[in-house]
Structures are given as C-alpha cells and as structure tokens.
Structure 1
Amino acid sequence: MALLDESLDRYLMALPSPTDDPMADIRLVATTHVAITMEAPDLGGLFVRELRSLSSENARRIERRSGVYLGAWVSFLRRAYPDTPASELEAAASTAMTTAAALILLPHPRVNTDHEALVADMIVASLSALERAR
C-alpha cells in the first residue's frame, strides 16, 4: 500500500502551477508525467497490477487520490479547451496517462528514456483532438 501511495505522491507533487499559457502547461504536465513514468517503471507497473488486489476500502482511497490527479489534468485541459464537455476532457486525460503507462507494462519494452520527448509529443498531439470542440 505504501508503494502505491509513493507512486501517486510522485505524480501529484510534480504537478506544475498554472501559468498564463495553457498549451505550455499541458506540454509540461505531459512531459513531467512521462518522465516520472519512465524513471520509475517498477512503481508504475506495481500501481497498475496491485490496484486490483487491494481491499475495497484501500482501493477507494487510492481511487480518490488518483481522481485528484485526473482532476488536475482535466483542469489544465479545461483552461485550453473551455468549451469541451467535462466527459471529453476526462477521456482525453485518461488516454494521455494510459499512453505513458502502456510503455512500462509491455513485456519487453523497446521504449526507453531516450524516447521521453517523443512520447510526450505524441500525448500532446493526441490532446489536440480536443481542438474540434473549440
């Protein structure tokens, strides 16, 4: 349980303060998320695998904390895409976070820290699909 909290803490503590440039903020959130995921892949993998084995009380607590992180992503996205429905912002944020997680869950990952910038760029590019709602 402590390792799951440690993993979440790493992501939550790294969230930047918003600036006057929402798109730059999104890029920073994505870049930071990928960097944390890639620098401690064991923690990320543990988080995904162990969440299913928690007691319902601990799972709810971790899900609440995860929701705070998702909510932060949504807040950053909302600033850039204010007319986009909340459900679409949540789907976009979840997809962005899952993209990074998929890299560490592959049985034989071929992606390494040399690819962090590429992966962050891909996440930001995918989030640009929200432009259609502007």
Structure 2
Amino acid sequence: MSKRPPGIVLISVVVLLEALALLCAAAWYAYELVSGAPVLTFWGAVFTLGLLLVFSAWLFAVGHFLFRGYRWTRAAALVAQLFVMTIGFPTMTGGLVLPGLAMIIPAAAAIIFLFNKSVITYASRVGGAQGAL
C-alpha cells in the first residue's frame, strides 16, 4: 500500500469532527428530552435521537475506514459532505453566517480532496478474501 496522502488525513478529520458534532447534538437532544422539554410526540423524539446516534456511529466508521484506505468510504464521505452542504447553505443564507461557513468550508475541502488523484489511489483497498464467519 502506498504512503497515506495528506488529503486522506484531512478528509478523515473532517468526517470524524462531523461525527463528534452529531454525537454532541444527540447528547444535547437526550438531555432536553429527559429534562422535560416539550415534544410533539415522545416516540418521534426517541426516533430522532436514535437517528442522531446511528448517523454519528456511521460517520465514525467512515472516518476510521477512510483513514485505513477502504474504497467504499469515498462514496460514503461524499454523501455525508453533500448532506452537510445542504444544511450549511441555508444556515448561512438564513443569517447565521459563521455556523454556515463552519459547515460549508470543511465540507467543500473534503469534497475537493475526495477527487484528488493520490486520495483515489490510496483509498482503493477492498475487503479481504476471508469469509464473513
């Protein structure tokens, strides 16, 4: 395997920070849920909390395996960055410029590096030939 390019490190850090942000959002959401904040439906709120936790775990896995050079993580990281961009642009144009830029700039950098030749070359590892069990 070739030497790990700096782009892989940058993308992995961006994805891991996004996972950490989702985990913090889930913790805050859980605190609000437990402290008695009004919700429309309790089970809908629990479902939303579960989604935050699942997506956070998914992003942690993407960041970890991208750092190790697995091929499937490039598409997963790209989709995650596109989701961040769809939240970042309305945030920025809605008057929250700094939070919007804090989402857009790292996501744009990650997208640019995802198409870097050295990143594509490095992140082309496939799973082993071992069986699942």
Same fold (TM over 0.5): no
Normalised TM-score (structure 1):
0.31
Normalised TM-score (structure 2):
0.32
